[in-house]
Structure 1
């Protein structure tokens, strides 16, 4: 999975996979057990002797969680030819209700992202500010049965930048994602199917007339039930990426 697609997948899971307002970040990410640190490293892959073979490191995400299961720190490292290309660390802050209220790049003096909630505790809005403290963008969420059904992102002048609409299966898992541009024209439609563990098994993405098909296989389940290796394949079953996971527990 390319870096921007991996980032998108992480963000989508964080904001749209929740089944109720009571879920913490570990639940939203479908991770099991009292995790204190979770690291994913992505490598490009090739096929050798009929098996997926790890090549160059492309990406690393390392996240720390508190004992409530909520993320407090995330380190993001993009690499090119094994040299550091981009290195960012984010910190998250919470209120006394355990709700995430802000996120900050530690290189900056102030938070750049702020979360707002409904009276029922559901995420209602996410606001982004520039370095001068001016509003840069806003995303508003709508719900059906306590599950996010759409998100609309506005630019700094209050105009719609894009809208994403989610359709879910009877388990509450996202099975279709449609993205529209500022004019209301559909730009991307993604469908997902799941395996017996409710993990994504196949993704079909149609973007501006180009169709991409990916399948995922999971390996090396630990004692808590978390998989430690994921391989992504293209439509011809050629391996594209390998993701290795390292998990530390309390």
Structure 2
């Protein structure tokens, strides 16, 4: 009985300004006054970008970070397959549709310019992953620790993903999206981060000896696979 009395005023205080600001963004968004074709192109662009950066690439990152202990050498197959699907199918379609909607050659806003930068960074990351895989195949004997290029590839990929996540928010603002889109994006990204933190803590809670042994075993098995 008391919960509505407590949370209703709180919700009014917290969410009314949010609604007001979202409504203002919608009134001044890029979708205002545009054709139905433009809106449809942006919907396709947004859906495919979400599939790429909320589902495929985070799953590929999880496979690389946590899959070694769960899947053994098969982590690399999962990691490479998910990334390949992302960079050869969903991302190029999303980016191409966005480019067509933005009038090719007219990079008038920061959203367009950041999108071009993410395009270049993502394929640089993919090329780096292929190069590292080839180098590991040519390496003789099992690896006992990660090389500098491995660490660079992992951290560079995380930076690109975080930049893409920020770009998703910018896209919502730029287009003038409804409040529900912001809520869904926040929930999705929050769940991914929460899962990452929980898995990271769980992995680090293992004893140093068993963790090191598992890591070395996975490196040895991975060397045979890749």
TM-score of the aligned structures, taking structure 2 as reference length: 0.24
Comparing both chains, which one has the higher relative contact order based on Cα–Cα distances under 8 Å and sequence gaps of 6 or more?
Answer: 2
Q: Which has the higher helix share?
A: 2
Q: Which has the higher strand share?
A: 1
TM-score of the aligned structures, taking structure 1 as reference length: 0.23
